Chains A and B, each alone.
Chain A
Amino acid sequence: MEISGGEEGAEFGGPRGERMLVPSLKVQDLIEEIRGAKTQAQEREVIQKECAHIRASFRDGDPLHRHRQLAKLLYVHMLGYPAHFGQMECLKLIASPRFTDKRVGYLGAMLLLDERQDAHLLITNSIKNDLSQGTQAVQGLALCTLSTMGSAEMCRDLATEVEKLLLQPSPYVRKKAVLTAVHMIRKVPELSTVFLPPCAQLLHERHHGILLGTITLIMELCERSPAALKHFRKVVPQLVQILRTLLTTGYSTEHSISGVSDPFLQVQILRLLRILGRNHEESSETMNDLLAQVATNTDTSRNAGNAVLFETVLTILDIRSAAGLRVLAVNILGRFLLNSDKNIRYVALTSLLRLVQSDHSAVQRHRPTVVECLQEPDTSLSRRALELSLALVNSSNVRAMTQELQGFLQSCPTDLRADCASGILLAAERYAPTKRWHIDTILRVLTTAGAHVRDDAVANLTQLIGGAQELHAYSVRRLYCALAEDISQQPLVQVAAWCIGEYGDLLLEGSCEEIEPLQVEEEEVLALLERVLQSHMSLPATRGYALTALMKLSTRLRGDNNRIRQVVSIYGSCLDVELQQRAVEYDTLFRKYDHMRAAILEKMPLVERGGPQVDEEAKESKEARLLEAAPVPTEPQASKLLDLLDLLDGPSEDAQHPRPLDPSPGGALVHLLDLPCAPPPAAPIPNLKVFEREGLQLSLSFVRPPETPALLLITVTATNTSGGDVTHFICQAAVPKSFQLQLQAPSGDTVPAQGGLPMTQLLRILNPNKAPLRLKLRLTYTHFGQSVQEIFEVNNLPVETWQ
């Protein structure tokens, strides 16, 4: 490296000029040249020329200038150009006795060499020599490089050297050795045994650098092994003492930053205390006073103080702290939230999110401020505010919150839209005060952000509307108006088309108390649906919805059906095969089976959420009616009708041709063709009790919806017959890789005692390969004041769940 500029240049002027046509540049000159380049191409030219020089110089093996060449190479590397040919030079420089050479060599090793390069192991020997025999500065260099790029083999080889350095008198080397030990433990966990004993002694040091490193080392050790964690709980009093000393020391020029003495060390100690105090009553008690002291005495006018305070709050919230202390922590967070500094607000929002599960009511108090933060232009802040707002929605504030969130949805940046939309829908589902409000909310979300909602929103809404009989007229009117305004939002169009198809007669009636009277002509409705069909914005699925809706309207409307018949026959030659097939079938319905049309296109029964569970008896009776009503169809016609059943999605099954419960794929076809001897529908799968402990029982019930044979729905039900409530109940599941698992939100996280309301949770498992099902469950909960964690595999899964 150029330490003294001019003299070296003069030294080499002579020989340089003779050997090479162009004298090589000094580092400064190179930098200037690069900066002088006006375009990227120019810069590349300069650099390529220089790299050629450097390569030639490396080949020549000139020891005097090697460090300068490598320095230039490193600069070029930093700009992003390839520099791998300098790797061997690093080795040579490290081995050289001159400090300047070593300095550049080690720097090069840090930047150019890493585990993936073969050359890196070659420096192990050099490092070993430097660590044992070098001066302090050289030892420092070696330690720095080792801790940055040391691979596992290197660490094993050099562990003893580093251990020796830990006990050396010089603090300069020791602080670096401690952090190198941290790196070694990360690479080779077995070395923990080597580095654990010195920690206790190192904690007695007064040098802050060593203390900082030691605490990091202890944190690393504790995180790796619970035995170490137990061992280090003994030092909690000592840590408390160190922190107390830091707090009570007055202004010391050495460590004071903005009036706080060594905030970095304070933060590290607090982090370690957090790790040690978690889930451990005794340690937490020891820390209580200290934490209160830190929280109240830290000066919060500057950032350093706030950093320490923040760490304190995190620690208080994580350990088993006294109630008063927790309240203090939440209040501090509240103060942070009201602060005008954006950073502090961000930090407060993040912590409150962590807190919202356990201290919900405390966080609720700050709801207005959180909602205000939604308006922040900075995405980091608004994202956090969104997450927190969604977590704060509950049954009492759902209307107000949804209002705010919908306002946010209209103006929020695109990457947050999907989260916001699905959050609103989820909140609406959980806490909707009335069905009408629910429908309104979903409608609004679909209108504002239809493209970003999840796929099942359509199904949910149709199911919801279907279930709310009194709101049919209202829904169909609103949807009609929304559709008339805008046919581009696909989920909205799909739901609207379905609704108009189902309840078209209500739309035309003209009277409905809840909404302004709307005069709609038949022709308008048909025209609208045709527009949807023809629009280039409509997805194929949407067009399918529209076509089916048109067909259904043929029975609902009073006029003649010429227009509908026309459309249907036109689409009989549509290029989209799906659409074409449907159109042809509908056409056939008009022409040959007109007497059945009304029955087939009747209003649909309500579909159960999570797969149709049609009553068995009703099915059998309907099958009997089918046998009577239909003349024995010839095979092609039957297959057409069955294809009709195949095509219609889950919710649009019609009443008279129910799918049989037989889960195998070809079942439908076989079933109807076997008219005389219909096989009985499959028996429901029996429930399975999987877990029982101290009165808490977990049982699974299974459903295989017939039209999706790969899908298995498991409902986990938790009941509690003991005397104590089970709280913070979380159930997680794991399945083999070939399966897809989706866990829906549980009904709650508390199972009340004495046989109170059980908690249920739905698991959806997709098993396309029909592989044998294996299920592992993990439960965490608090019962009788103890936290329990159970992991177990569910045995005795009935074969019907996956076959």
Chain B
Amino acid sequence: MSSVHIQVSLSVSMHCGSGSSNLLLLRDISSFSVRMNSPLGTLRSAWSRWLSLSHKMKCSFIEYKDFKLIYRQYAALFIVVGVNDTENEMAIYEFIHNFVEVLDEYFSRVSELDIMFNLDKVHIILDEMVLNGCIVETNRARILAPLLILDKMSES
């Protein structure tokens, strides 16, 4: 029935001539991928329409088809989470910030390049925090513990 399908996508604006922004999908939860992959084109157009509004006026929740997009902007980086109707939007908003804080701690002042070149690590972090669309862990130390152990193992 009402299930949380969290899909996190990072939008990184590519600094190429056209100045277009690419929407990179980091994780497609299987039951969601069917819906997200096909309207990717329309999602991009909805996205670019929305981008034209000035920042102060915007509310962080966009209604798209029958689910909602909750986004948060960090300089040039947008993090967008798609949820269905039953989720508490503000809790997800908080969750996005939590996620970025974890990334921040791991990469020490994370930037988009960090994410781009360390996608595997970001995947690991995301897997620690979200399991099949449900939040599983929000404590920074516990999320990063396995990753730090892994790093230590590979160094030695």
Contacts and interface: CB of A to CB of B under 8 A. Distances in A.
Given A147-B132, A264-B95, A376-B57, A257 B116 contact: no
Nearest to B101: A257
B134 A176 contact: no
Contact of B59 (A271, A303, A345): A345
Nearest to B20: A40
Q: How large is the interface on A (under 10, 10 to 19, 20 to 34, 35 or more residues)?
A: 35 or more
A28 B117 contact: yes
A554 interface: no
Interface in B13-45: 14, 16-17, 22, 24-30, 33, 40
B133 to A, nearest CB: 9
Contacts of B137: 175, 209, 212
A304 B94 contact: yes
A344 B141 CA distance: 30
Contacts of A455: none
B146 A140 contact: yes
Interface in A344-365: 344-347
B40 A254 contact: no
A183 interface: yes
A208 B53 contact: no
A347 B132 contact: no
Interface residues of B, number: 55
Nearest to A143: B131
B90 interface: yes
Nearest to A178: B136
B76 interface: no
B87 to A, nearest CB: 9
Contacts of A140: 146
A214 to B, nearest CB: 11
B120 interface: yes
Contacts of B90: 303, 306-307, 310, 343-344, 347
Candidate in B116, B123, B137, B154 with the most chain A CB atoms within 10 angstroms: B137
A525 to B, nearest CB: 46
A290 interface: no
A140 B125 CA distance: 13
A263 interface: yes
Contact of B139 (A111, A216, A224, A254): A254
B58 A342 contact: yes
A345 B58 CA distance: 11
Interface in A243-278: 254-255, 257-258, 262-264, 267, 271
B117 A310 contact: no
Given A114-B30, A224-B1, A267-B91, A257 B58 contact: no
Interface string B143-156: 00010001100110
B88 A311 contact: yes
Contact of A311 (B91, B141, B155): B91
A267 B62 CA distance: 22
Given A186-B3, A342-B59, A380-B63, A255 B131 contact: no
A342 B116 contact: no
Contacts of A257: 94, 98, 138
Nearest to A176: B131
B79 interface: no
A257 B90 CA distance: 13
Nearest to B25: A78
Interface in A17-62: 28, 31, 35, 38-39
Nearest to A111: B28
A376 B53 CA distance: 12
A588 interface: no
B117 A78 contact: no
Contact of B63 (A107, A182, A383): A383
Given A182-B132, A377-B53, A115 B60 contact: no
A727 B151 CA distance: 65
Given A71-B120, A80-B40, A264-B95, 7 more contacts: A1-B120, A35-B116, A143-B131, A176-B131, A209-B137, A377-B53, A380-B61
5 contacts: A179-B132, A180-B131, A182-B132, A264-B91, A310-B88
